[in-house]
Amino acid sequence: LVKKAGLAIGVFILYSKIAEPLIGWKLPQSISDYLPFHTISELIQNPALTLVGISVRQSPLGIHFAFALAYSCLFAIGTYLLLTKRDL
């Protein structure tokens, strides 16, 4: 949707750090847990947390994996449709 690489990175950072947390703040917890960046971040556990004594889940929840797969398919289909409609 954004043609310039720098602008696309800026939009990506803006959405991931500002827009999605604000959207998640307004939505109920049961819905905000399944927004794209929150879902993907639940799949990747930070190993440094175990070094400082904070317990983390050893395996991600299956529902987060399913939502991440669904988002990936949705983004891939959207990209395909966008590229087929554009004259490149």
Tell me how long the chain is.
Answer: 88
Tell me the whole-structure pTM to 2 decimals: 0.69
User: Whole-angstrom Cα distance, residue 49 to residue 72?
Assistant: 27
In DSSP notation, 52-88 reads TT----SS--HHHHHHHHHHHHHHHHHHHHHHHHS--
Q: How many percent of the chain have pLDDT more than 90?
A: 16
Q: In the predicted model, what is the mean pLDDT of residues 10-28?
A: 89
Residues 31-64 pLDDT 10s: 888 888 888 887 877 777 767 777 666 656 788 8
Amino acid 48: pLDDT = 75
User: Whole-angstrom Cα distance, residue 12 to residue 18?
Assistant: 10
